[in-house]
Amino acid sequence: MDLALSDFLNLALNGLAEGLLVALPALAVTLVFGVARFPNAAVGDFVSLGSFGALTAHRLSGGSMLAAGIGAAAAGAAGTWLGWRLAFAPLLRRKGLALLLTSIGVGFVLRAAMGLGFGHEIKLFDLPPMRAWRWGDLVINPLDVFVGGMSLACVVLVFALLRFTSTGRTMRAIADDMDLARVVGIDSRAAMTRMWLLSGIVCGVAGLAYGLKTQVSPESGADMLLAAFAAAVVGGLGNPLGAVLGAIGLGVLQELSTPFVGFTYKIALSYVAMLLVLLWRPQGLFGRVQGVR
């Protein structure tokens, strides 16, 4: 197989775009795990809800991408807030397994509701045709640049909120020790609500990004759930930076492997990498973090 350096660079750029796409749901997974201490299996369905919110706002506004972003964030936040209030809050003191099973049920209910409300047929954003940018042998899709930039901006804003705001500090305190946080006067339920809203906004933006890149359907978000979990596990559950870097690393690894294993089997490499990481470092590549850092 005769591959030039430019071929690998193009594959790496594609992998970077795919990794940034998965980084947002992986970040949502690790936010919930870091603070609430359970793997949220409904993340993919919240992403689908964000896609429908974005598509609806995009069509009603005559094609405004700003309106699509607002609609995506609002739909995602509303979905996670309702899930928190109706399903997760009453079980807050239960073990992680009970919350995991609850999240699976929330995902099924949400998927069925989206199917009833929007139908199961595939929907697409009405986007103008875009010509690829070329620099020598490098080929860059403008849509990849837009989606990747939007995902990266969302990640930076989330990190800034966690690091520099009082909301982020209270979330980190609860992640470290919920009982101690209560003793010093932190309202754990209010902070937990903010965490769910933040996770929902991240899922909503992920839904917009995924809808622009692929399609919109009740099942579309669930298709990326396993990739998001793999990235979060590789990076270290509860570590937001690790989740993002894990997603990017796995995305690049998958694309670079395409000439050798083909399109069919490249997806399996994420799970092989996850298995190797779990065998070598069960806490993930970036170590075990006791909460959101």
Give percent above pLDDT 90 in the chain: 51
Residue 289 has pLDDT above 80, yes or no: no
Tens-place pLDDT, residues 19-77: 999 999 999 999 999 888 889 999 999 999 999 999 999 999 999 999 999 999 999 99
Q: What integer pLDDT is reported at residue 292 of this predicted model?
A: 44
Q: What integer pLDDT is reported at residue 138 of this predicted model?
A: 84
Tens-place pLDDT, residues 64-114: 999 999 999 999 999 999 999 999 988 877 777 889 999 999 999 999 999
- Report the C-alpha dihedral over residues 10, 151, 55, 73, rounded to 10 degrees: 170
**Helices (H), strands (E): how many in the chain?**
11, 2
Question: Mean pLDDT, to the nearest integer, of 2-23?
Answer: 84
pLDDT band at 155; cut points 50, 70, 90: very high
Q: Closest Cα to residue 30, out of 232, 270, 285?
A: 232
As a whole number of angstroms, the distance between CA 216 and CA 210 comes to 8
Which domains occur in the chain, in start order?
A: 5-124+137-280 (1.10.3470)
Residue 244, Ramachandran bin (φ over 0: left; ψ between -120 and 50: alpha; else beta): alpha
Question: Mean pLDDT, to the nearest integer, of 204-214?
Answer: 94
Model-level pTM greater than 0.85?
A: yes
Q: What integer pLDDT is reported at residue 287 of this predicted model?
A: 56
